[in-house]
Amino acid sequence: MDAIVALPRVNPLLLKLRFGMDLDAGDRALLGDAFRATRSLEPQQDIVRAGERSSGVHLVLEGFAFRYKLVRDGRRQILGLLLPGDFCDLQSIVLGPSDHYIAALTTCTIADVPQRQVDALIFRDSRIARALWWATLVDESVLREWLASMGQRPADKRIAHLFCELLLRQQLVGAAGARDCPLPLTQPMLADILGITPIHVSRILRDLREAGLIELKDRHLHVPEVERLRAFCDFDPAYLHLVNTPEQGASEPLSGNGP
């Protein structure tokens, strides 16, 4: 089994934005200095609550978080998974109070940036504004793909497609190996993402394992043959809009002054 590549001491936002926008050294320094680690959250701790107006923007630097909504009877629908380099609420700049909840899935390190600082970055540099816009639009594209999966893919291909996505998204920020990545999702959480029961999830995971498509152990996913899993679920990464192909191994410091 391939070794998991540990997340380096770099800002995952800068690693992610390399695939969507060419930023110069000054832009990268500004973003690296703005989005520093400021606090750690425990699993299930809310980052944003529905109905509340955020005082700024939150960026996941380490760990997993998730978006969710509660329906009237208390059931939960998970709307998105937030990985290192993902903004929790960049849209709050325009939309105001949140219409959903965001919570830590694992222990998370979050960068909190006041709204005025984000505004200053956007108004100062059109490249930074475009890069953050790209990140927001990719989030919307991922949601559309999830909706397409929910409506049209059978449940086994739905789970396989999600696994392909999570492997690739973590690879983009140096948090995964070629065939391995963290997968801290319980079966009930997978059920809340996919709109099926935990029992159905358990059966599908068993079938995928027996088919040799995946291995799950110690909250990690191993994909023996990535192209085979992609073919099984018709995974096409075009919806992630990776318009750039930066050099492998390129990295940026967390900030100009070190961590």
Question: Is there a domain that residue 200 lies in?
Answer: yes
Question: Is there a domain that residue 6 lies in?
Answer: no
144: domain range? 12-240
Identify the pLDDT of residue 119: 87
Total domains in the chain come to 1
pLDDT for 27-78, tens place per residue? 999 998 888 878 899 999 999 888 787 778 999 999 999 999 988 787 889 9
- Which residues of the chain, if any, have pLDDT below 70? 1-9, 92-93, 247-259
User: The domain spanning residue 67 has which CATH number?
Assistant: 2.60.120.10
Question: Is there a domain that residue 3 lies in?
Answer: no
Q: Phi/psi zone of residue 219: left (φ > 0), alpha (ψ -120 to 50 degrees), beta?
A: left
Question: Is there a domain that residue 214 lies in?
Answer: yes
Question: Is there a domain that residue 259 lies in?
Answer: no
What's the predicted TM-score (pTM) here? 0.88
Question: Is there a domain that residue 229 lies in?
Answer: yes
Identify the pLDDT of residue 93: 66
Question: Is there a domain that residue 148 lies in?
Answer: yes
Identify the pLDDT of residue 6: 40
Strand order in the sheet with 39-41: 39-41, 108-114, 56-62
